[in-house]
Chain A
Amino acid sequence: MSDTLLELKNLTKSFGENGVLKGINLKVEQGEFVTLLGSSGCGKTTTLRIIAGLEEPDSGQVILNQKDITALEPNLRDVNTVFQNYALFPYMNVEQNIGYGLKIRKVPKAEIQKRVKEMLEIVQLQGFEKRKPDELSGGQRQRVAIARAIINSPRVLLLDEPLGALDLKLRRQMQLELKKLQKKLGITFIYITHDQEEAINMSDRIAVMRNGVFEQIGTPNEIYYHPKTSYVADFVGNANVIHLDDKTYAVRSENVLMDGEAECIYYAVVEEKSFAGGQLRIVFRLQDGQLVTASRYGIDAQIRVGETRNIGWHKNDAVEVLDNAE
């Protein structure tokens, strides 16, 4: 691929006895929005820190724009980071925070002022120039952190759970804004999150990570509809993982049918019924003891705990996956 911007080759890293990365490979194209998705401790932050140069891998290479930058100091890389807790400079005001990278590069003062002003406009923080970080709200700090990073026009912007500390509503709004910003600037984003919704909403491609390896890399569609492993099916699609005839299938709960129209039909007992987030969730127990969850919109009063039902799913909705659950 000619327009590969960033390539990770066989990265490994361990802290003491702990193998954190066990050989990961990834190619990222210019302008792409790639998300590393995984639960905490899976190695996603370490990967990001290696790309940023804050950590050195035990083996493997980081190649940016056809140059091996594995051992390059972080201050010499064309990569910037938005840190998880924002890491704003507490003794500097918003303006100084955002202009810091340019000041380091000895950009003339007038030019810095002009660019900071543009940035403040982009992140909608006009009028906040003289505020200190502790006088800003979480969302505002977030914007400063982003502005501070993108003002340097990096080749790659790394974002470590940047929305993790915000409340749900603000998070949704910032997701949209970030995505828009990325389109507008054309900068390559590598984004870390443990929230599968966030990953699906924003990414061009998602790399699902577990125990220091990528389980699956693909578009949100591929990951959601065609999980390769039971872990991905469960983590991304909240799917039922069902073992039948020595094979393992993933069936998402909304595809579990209760009206007998399906092609594969099983007897099942209603174990549990609960209503949450606009959805009714019904847990069935199959005759062999496996649990299957179905979900429906609205409240279906017809179903009672303890009764027996015919449940099933269309053949197309059961995706065969590699069973690697723990």
Chain B
Amino acid sequence: MPNKKKTKKEAAAQKKSNALLLPLYLFTIIFVFAPLVYMIILSFLQKAEIWGVKNVFTLENYRRILEPLYLGTFTESLKLAFLSTAAIILIGYPYGYFMARMSERWKKRMMMLLMIPFWTSALIRLNGWIIVFRSNGVLDKLLMGLHLTDKPLKLLYSYEAVLVGMIYALLPFMILSVYSSAEKMDWSLVEAARDLGAGRVKAFVSVTLKMTLPGLLSGVILTFIPSMGLFFIADLLGGNKVVLVGNVIQEQLTKGRNLPFAAALSVVLMVLTSLIIAFYRRVAHTKELEGMFV
């Protein structure tokens, strides 16, 4: 008899938590899971003449990705993503690390200084770079004023401009990730390592780097993944000179009206990013991304 009562009480609790979970379950299945599955299905279907799809199975879309034109955009995107991520690490890691060692008061001030650009629309910040890079713009004027060059450099709509835009847009993510893991670090460990005879470099590699690795890696993910898809940066700062996977997908959807091919491109891009995330989990031994929710 008491056993029966128990299951009753437990069942009531279960019912309650089921009711609470229902919205999340439904929403996630209908609007996250199902659309992703639909995308995968789409990628194996044929394009209809004008818009939409024919229900005929084909591998044509994936074969097409292997064409040099599209394969080129993938390698181009990966190259840009690697370059910008590397630059972001070089700039952002020391920044976050130094910030974590400041006094509480300065930490707060720096946080505010970081937050203002972070919370400002990426587009608006890019607008500032357009002013800088524009032909006869601020940078041209500055360089000519210093007599470093005698004619405008045509910096806007170049690969370098896109690179700068990417770095600029994604740098805060790296800084915040590194900062949040360096902040939690026990500095006495570094002192202990130094005390035990480790040199500055050795102490840094064996203690500091190891302890901040989760933050660094999560910063890499938070910058690498978006950098492959932020087509508007390439669009606005690169003109049509820089074509990334994101731009191709966008073009296929808007101008090419080829849904299945766009889907196939997306699937490949998603597989790539999942591999990166899986790698992160393996190396960092963690599920959550550090500093993702500051």
Contact = CB atoms under 8 A, between A and B. Distances in A.
A and B touch in the complex (CB under 8 A): yes
Interface of A: 56-61, 70-71
Q: Give the dominant DSSP class at B's interface.
A: helix
B114 to A, nearest CB: 29
Interface residues of B, number: 5
Contacts of B2: 56-61, 70-71
Given A57-B2, A59-B3, A71-B5, 10 more contacts: A56-B5, A56-B6, A58-B3, A58-B6, A59-B2, A60-B2, A61-B2, A70-B5, A71-B2, A71-B9
B184 to A, nearest CB: 22
A158 to B, nearest CB: 20
A59 B5 CA distance: 10
Contacts of B3: 58-59
Sorted from nearest, which 7 A-B pairs have the closest CB atoms?
Answer: A71-B5, A59-B2, A56-B6, A56-B9, A70-B2, A58-B3, A57-B2
A193 B221 CA distance: 50
A138 B116 CA distance: 41
Contacts of A60: 2
Contacts of B5: 56, 70-71
Interface in B1-21: 2-3, 5-6, 9
Contacts of A57: 2
Nearest to A11: B2
Contacts of A59: 2-3
A180 to B, nearest CB: 39
8 contacts: A56-B2, A56-B5, A58-B2, A58-B3, A58-B6, A60-B2, A71-B2, A71-B5
Nearest to B8: A71
A61 B6 CA distance: 12
Nearest to A70: B2
Contacts of B9: 56, 71
A56 to B, nearest CB: 5
Contacts of B6: 56, 58
Contacts of A71: 2, 5, 9
A279 B3 CA distance: 53
Contacts of A70: 2, 5
A205 to B, nearest CB: 27
Nearest to A56: B6
Nearest to A61: B2
B13 to A, nearest CB: 11
Interface in B178-211: none
A24 to B, nearest CB: 15
A183 B2 CA distance: 36
A71 B9 CA distance: 9
A47 to B, nearest CB: 16
A164 B9 CA distance: 33
A58 B1 CA distance: 10
A304 to B, nearest CB: 43
Interface in B70-87: none
Interface in B132-166: none
A57 B3 CA distance: 9
B1 to A, nearest CB: 9
Nearest to B6: A56
Interface in B238-293: none
A71 B3 CA distance: 11
Nearest to A12: B2
A60 B1 CA distance: 10
A53 to B, nearest CB: 11
A322 B9 CA distance: 41
A56 B6 CA distance: 7
Nearest to B9: A56
Contacts of A56: 2, 5-6, 9
A34 to B, nearest CB: 24
Nearest to A71: B5
A59 B4 CA distance: 10
A59 B6 CA distance: 9
B15 to A, nearest CB: 16
A60 B6 CA distance: 12
A59 B2 CA distance: 6
A59 B7 CA distance: 12
A271 B3 CA distance: 55
Nearest to A60: B2
